[in-house]
């Protein structure tokens, strides 16, 4: 019966496991419990238009990620290990310590987290399960996670086979398929994976939490061939990552995206984030900034950095604002134009000071400028610390 229930759930995603079991019970009651569970389940499947194979082996074939639904049991799935998250501990009600390990698995149809409990995590602790491997998960069960995403759990009967003999390497996505380009990071995404070179490594600093305990934070600047962003490392992860210096190559998997008030996007390294040092030759060299020169008409999505040559189209409005960190800073907003269109720009801090000297008709070159969505949800340009504004020409003045 259980196998038939799983077939119904995969075919009818509008039904929950409880819905199907209720229908089976009602079928049995209608026949005064004359039907066996399996017979009742087959009749329900027929009522729902779900074809159930008679060959028992058909129930034990591998399932693709896209076909998984919450409530499935005894699942067999094959995928590549994309991320091995740090092992976490938790207290049980009997005061003993439990352990849980999570991995991100992917096949060509999608990805999901694999969750290992207690004695099952020895494969992670021993290094038998590693990033990049193809694995076959046997006797798993599917549940909804707190964040609404599906998770595949490995129960007591479950097992994992590494490098299964029938798996074809080219059939499964590579780790690099899950790497985001820094220029493409937006506030619309909650998490991201990036790969790049450390361009700046600031020393760790300590701070006092409201409860009096000390915390620790460290910031790094990471650059790939499309742009640059800040990595923010918190508390115990600062010590775990060890010595990281300028020029190190890092692969950061599943970091949290946080957008600052001025539009800057940061990646925060949390307990679930995987950080790996890579050999230098694994990363492409950053391309010249001149290759990223754009026109106004090319601005179609958030990201950066870019270079752009434009003309000031409206008088800059310079004002003082308070940030979320209660910092008073200057910001200037005005319109820019080229031969393809018009766009709004916001210059912050030192760049806002420069805006006081700009008048309508001034031709400027903005380097390392970024694109974000403004308060009206329209795309606009914004400056960051690395931005430079160069005056190319000023409007001619007419003498009386």
Structure-block tokens of residue 180:
């985001």
**Mean pLDDT across 243-260:** 90
Q: Are residues 131 and 97 in the same domain?
A: yes
The pTM of this model reads 0.55
Beta bridge partners of 371: 303, 381
The rounded radius of gyration (Å) of the Cα atoms in the chain is 28
Q: Are residues 329 and 264 in the same domain?
A: no
Tell me what pLDDT residue 60 has.
47
Closest-CA residue to 84 (of 28, 42, 56, 126): 126
Instruction: Name, in order, each residue with C-beta under 8 angstroms of 242's C-beta and a sequence gap of 6 or more.
Output: none
Classify residue 33: in a domain, yes or no: yes
Classify residue 399: in a domain, yes or no: no
Per-residue pLDDT tens digits for 359-397: 999 999 998 888 888 767 788 998 887 788 989 988 875
Q: Are residues 253 and 299 in the same domain?
A: no
In terms of DSSP bridges, do strands 110-117 and 97-107 run parallel, antiparallel, or are they unpaired?
antiparallel
- CA dihedral 344→349→353→358, nearest 10 degrees, is -20
Whether 299 and 380 have beta carbons less than 8 Å apart is answered as no
Q: Are residues 45 and 102 in the same domain?
A: no
Classify residue 400: in a domain, yes or no: no
Q: Are residues 68 and 169 in the same domain?
A: yes
Classify residue 183: in a domain, yes or no: no
Q: Kindly report the backbone phi and psi dihedral angles of residue 254, in degrees, each rounded to the nearest multiple of 5, phi listed first.
A: 65, 55
Classify residue 398: in a domain, yes or no: no
**Mean pLDDT across 213-220:** 91
Q: What share of the chain is helix, strand, coil (3-state, %, to 5)?
A: 20, 40, 35
pLDDT beyond 90 at 400: no
Tell me what pLDDT residue 35 has.
60
pLDDT higher at 148 or 85: 85
Long-range contacts (CB closer than 8 Å, 24 or more residues apart) made by 21-28: 23/47, 23/48
User: Which of 159-173, 194-208, 342-356 bottoms out in mean pLDDT, i.e. has the lowest?
Assistant: 159-173
H or E element at residue 362: none
Q: Are residues 320 and 385 in the same domain?
A: yes
Q: Are residues 159 and 66 in the same domain?
A: yes
Per-residue pLDDT tens digits for 252-306: 998 999 988 878 899 999 888 889 888 754 454 443 333 457 899 988 877 767 8
Q: What does the alpha-carbon distance between residue 299 and residue 302 come to, in Å, rounded to a whole number? A: 8
Whether 109 and 64 have beta carbons less than 8 Å apart is answered as yes
Among 152, 178, 204, identify where a domain stops.
178
Mean per-residue pLDDT over the chain, rounded: 84
Q: Are residues 354 and 277 in the same domain?
A: no
Domain count of the fold of the chain: 4
Tell me what pLDDT residue 258 has.
93
Per-residue pLDDT tens digits for 6-37: 788 877 878 888 888 888 888 878 766 656 67
Q: Are residues 225 and 308 in the same domain?
A: no
Among 115, 143, 178, identify where a domain stops.
178
Task: Tell me the pLDDT band of 314, cut-offs 50, 70 and 90.
Answer: very high
Closest-CA residue to 313 (of 295, 336, 333, 296): 336
Q: Are residues 160 and 208 in the same domain?
A: no
Among 178, 206, 234, identify where a domain stops.
178
Per-residue pLDDT tens digits for 134-173: 999 988 889 888 877 889 998 777 889 888 877 888 889 8
**CATH number of the domain residue 103 falls in:** 2.40.50.140
Tell me what pLDDT residue 325 has.
59
Task: Tell me the pLDDT band of 54, cut-offs 50, 70 and 90.
Answer: low
pLDDT beyond 90 at 105: yes
pLDDT higher at 351 or 301: 351
Q: Are residues 265 and 371 in the same domain?
A: no
**Mean pLDDT across 196-217:** 89
| Residue-number span of the structural domain to which 30 is assigned | 1-54
H or E element at residue 236: helix 236-241
Q: Are residues 297 and 355 in the same domain?
A: yes
pLDDT higher at 305 or 352: 352
């Amino acid at each position: 019966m259980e196998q038939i229930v799983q077939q119904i759930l995969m075919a009818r995603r509008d039904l929950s496991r409880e819905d199907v079991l209720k229908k089976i019970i009602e079928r049995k009651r209608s026949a005064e419990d004359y039907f066996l569970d399996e017979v009742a389940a087959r009749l329900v499947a027929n009522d729902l238009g779900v074809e159930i194979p008679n060959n028992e082996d058909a129930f034990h074939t591998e399932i693709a990620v896209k076909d998984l639904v919450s409530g499935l049991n005894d699942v067999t799935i094959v995928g590549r290990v994309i991320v091995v998250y740090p092992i976490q501990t938790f207290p049980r009600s009997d005061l003993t310590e439990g352990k849980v390990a999570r991995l991100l698995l992917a096949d060509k149809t999608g990805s999901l987290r694999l969750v290992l409990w207690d004695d099952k995590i020895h494969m992670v602790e021993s290094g038998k399960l590693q990033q990049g491997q193809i694995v076959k998960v046997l006797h798993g069960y599917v549940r909804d996670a707190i964040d609404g995403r599906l998770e595949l759990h490995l129960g007591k009967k479950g097992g994992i086979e590494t490098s299964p003999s029938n798996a074809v390497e080219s059939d499964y996505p590579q780790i690099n398929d899950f790497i985001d380009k820094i220029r493409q990071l937006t506030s619309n995404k909650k998490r991201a994976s990036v790969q790049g070179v450390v361009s700046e490594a600031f020393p760790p600093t300590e701070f006092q939490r409201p409860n009096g305990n000390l915390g620790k934070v460290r910031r790094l600047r990471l650059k790939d061939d499309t742009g640059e962003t800040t990595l923010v490392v918190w508390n115990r992860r600062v010590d775990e990552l060890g010595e990281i210096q300028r020029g190190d190559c890092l692969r950061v998997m599943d970091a949290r995206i946080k957008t600052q008030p001025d539009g800057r996007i940061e990646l925060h390294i949390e307990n679930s984030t995987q950080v790996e040092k890579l050999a230098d030759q694994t990363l492409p060299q950053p391309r010249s900034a001149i290759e990223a020169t754009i026109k106004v008409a090319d601005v179609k999505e958030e990201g950066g950095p870019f270079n752009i040559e434009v003309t000031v189209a409206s008088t800059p409005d310079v004002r003082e604002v308070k940030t979320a960190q209660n910092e008073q800073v200057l910001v200037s907003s005005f319109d820019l134009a080229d031969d393809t269109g018009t766009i709004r720009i916001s210059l912050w801090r030192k760049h806002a000071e420069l805006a006081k000297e700009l008048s309508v008709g001034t031709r400027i070159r903005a380097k390392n400028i970024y694109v974000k969505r403004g308060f009206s949800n329209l795309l606009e340009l914004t400056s960051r610390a690395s931005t430079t504004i160069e005056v190319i020409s000023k409007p001619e003045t007419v003498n009386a």
